[in-house]
Amino acid sequence: MSTTADLVTALKKELKAAHMTYADLAVQLGVAESSVKRMLAKGDMPLSRVDAICRALKLDFAELARRVADAQPLLVGLTQEQERAVVADKKLLLVAICVLSQWTLEQIVASYRLSEAECIRCLAQLDRIGIIELRPLNRYRLKLAKTFRWLPHGPVMQFFREDVLLDYYNGGFDGPGEGLLLVHGSVSRSLAPLFLERLQRVAQDFAQQHLADQKLPEAALEGYTLLLGMRRWEFAAFTALRR
């Protein structure tokens, strides 16, 4: 939730954008200009005063609060506690993965055996956890940055290692648009980070294409999962044979 200080900072920007001086605002509020300067300088005032300034600016308070929320820094990761809350309920984890793909409530309910009430409950939980900001009509704003990553050794990645990876790799990877590449080699330590950057760009391209294609009819879409990884590793059975 936005603090009063955040709202006041946003109001200052709105006043500047509207070319409204403190003197102009003082006239609108029926107070002295010095009082306006003092209120805005302190960054603290009753919400009733914030609402009055919004009226002077012909700005809806809800819209101001939304702009403040949109300006908040996005999360690049969650805490252990937040991730534990996500994996504790498999339906919640499903909805969390869906919102990472920017699915709507209607898309989730149409695709999975979740009632609308169950899905709304999950969205509300994700709002409390901090992954989304739930908005009217069950719309939401994702509060995660494009560079968001699950904790490498956190609860979510542990769940995927134990319950998902084998299921994923059991596929043949021989269908249309599918493929599995296994490449092993020794490269310069200084160049290895560059290859990782390329993999990250591929992942970002895939995610951006997913968002761009949401305007297409559902019949034209197919669900794919891209899994990229790179690490210093040797198969344990091979390591056992080393001299």
Residue 89 Cα to chain centre, angstroms? 19
The predicted pLDDT at position 174 comes to 95
Three-state DSSP class for residue 170? coil
Helices and strands in the chain: count of H runs, count of E runs: 13, 2
Three-state DSSP class for residue 39? helix
For the segment 130-159, the average pLDDT, to the nearest whole number, is 91
For the segment 35-42, the average pLDDT, to the nearest whole number, is 87
The predicted pLDDT at position 8 comes to 84
In the predicted structure, residue 120 carries a pLDDT above the cut 90: yes
d(CA 157, CA 200) in angstroms, rounded, equals: 17
Residue 98 has a CB neighbour count (10 Å cut-off) of 21
For the four alpha carbons of 22, 40, 71 and 123, in that order, the dihedral sign comes to: negative
The predicted pLDDT at position 47 comes to 81
The predicted pLDDT at position 1 comes to 43
For the segment 148-157, the average pLDDT, to the nearest whole number, is 94
Indicate whether this model's pTM tops 0.95: no
For the segment 115-141, the average pLDDT, to the nearest whole number, is 94
The predicted pLDDT at position 5 comes to 77
